[in-house]
Amino acid sequence: MAIDLGTANCLVYLMGEGIVMEEPTVVAVSLSDGRVLAVGKKAQEMLGRTPGNIKASRPMRDGVVADYAVTRAMLTYFLRESGALKGFIKPEVMICVPAGVTQVERRAVLAATMAAGARKAYLIEEPLAAAVGAGVPIAEPSGNLIMDMGGGASEAAVISLGGVVAFKSVRVAGNKIDNAIARYVRRKHNLVIGEQTAEKVKIALGSAIMPSKQEKMDVTGRDSVTGLPKQIEITSGEVCEAIREPLDKIVAMVKAVMEEVPPELSSDIIDKGVVMSGGTALLKNFDKFVTQETGVPAFVAEDPLRCVIKGIGIAMENLELYKKSFIDSR
């Protein structure tokens, strides 16, 4: 069994069956007895709408475990609902982690997976899994630059001979872009909006490059002055301006990786370009923005949202081939 434990979404892959679950990484917990009330889509619907005795939250923050107990409960739910736990037979589970996580953060993921009911747990670095899932030939002696941008963290890694040669990560990705939109709307229009509304604005109007044709959208929230409900109109140009700062941080990370790469691999990267994966890669014109800022051609991988889970699944089904690329629970 393979799990892409993302900040925004979790995907579950069963060997021989493919992707069997795709749920938002949100858990609703009863504060009175600590019982898990809902996981995934049902819990996401509760975000920002819960009474005082229920807490709906994201147990993963910036790509790592922020709440151990809730993460363990969520993993138990995935193991049970996917059909991986059958009687006394416990599954082997492979989970991806960002390349830049600390030993403590790695141990937290392994411990939560074992406590959830796994027989054995393996960790694989996210950029490596994304590269495998995107169809990049990582075993060859040539450089491949992959950018993986999810909800909590963005990573850029140069991969050669099945290993990571150089990498950088920043805890800036989809969530920080949503926050930037919410801050801009509050500053410019005195309107307080929630994270789900900000995400809808990003999907509908977000563009990394200033669009030639302005699109508009009505946004509803709470007036920060009067405290009353209010609706305003926002344009795609305003959204582009709002998200520039987090995008600049992601591109600065890519440039930093390129500066660390040996010259031989740099020429490979110029020839092959930058492969972009993860949900944030779907932001309109982001590939053009990366090309414009770095001078290296960039393109979005096929099905960027599922690159990581496909890569973990391939690695899980070929353990011997990829064994030097992961850490296990021993």
Note the pLDDT tens digit of each residue in 245-296.
999 999 999 999 999 998 888 999 999 999 999 999 999 999 999 999 999 9
Report how far residue 25's alpha carbon sits from residue 43's, in angstroms, rounded to the nearest whole number.
9
- Placement of tokens 């926002």 in the chain: 234
Closest alpha carbon to 117 in 89, 143, 98: 89
pTM: 0.86
Note the pLDDT tens digit of each residue in 196-239.
899 999 999 999 999 889 999 999 999 999 999 999 999 999 99
Coil/strand/helix, residue 148? strand
Q: Is the pLDDT of residue 148 over 90?
A: yes
Residue partners of 157: CB distance under 8 A and separation at least 6: 99, 125, 127, 128, 131, 145, 146, 148, 164, 165, 166, 167, 168, 257
Report how far residue 290's alpha carbon sits from residue 212's, in angstroms, rounded to the nearest whole number.
18
114: left (phi over 0), alpha (psi -120 to 50) or beta: alpha
Torsion of CA 50, 53, 59, 65, to 10 degrees: 160
For the chain, where are the alpha helices, taking DSSP H only?
Answer: 41-44, 68-81, 103-115, 126-133, 174-189, 195-205, 236-242, 244-260, 263-272, 286-294, 307-317, 319-322
Where do the domains of the chain lie, and which CATH numbers do they carry?
2-128+309-328 (3.30.420.40), 135-172+248-304 (3.30.420.40), 174-244 (3.90.640.10)
Note the pLDDT tens digit of each residue in 77-96.
888 888 777 767 788 899 98
CB of 181 closer than 8 Å to CB of 166: no
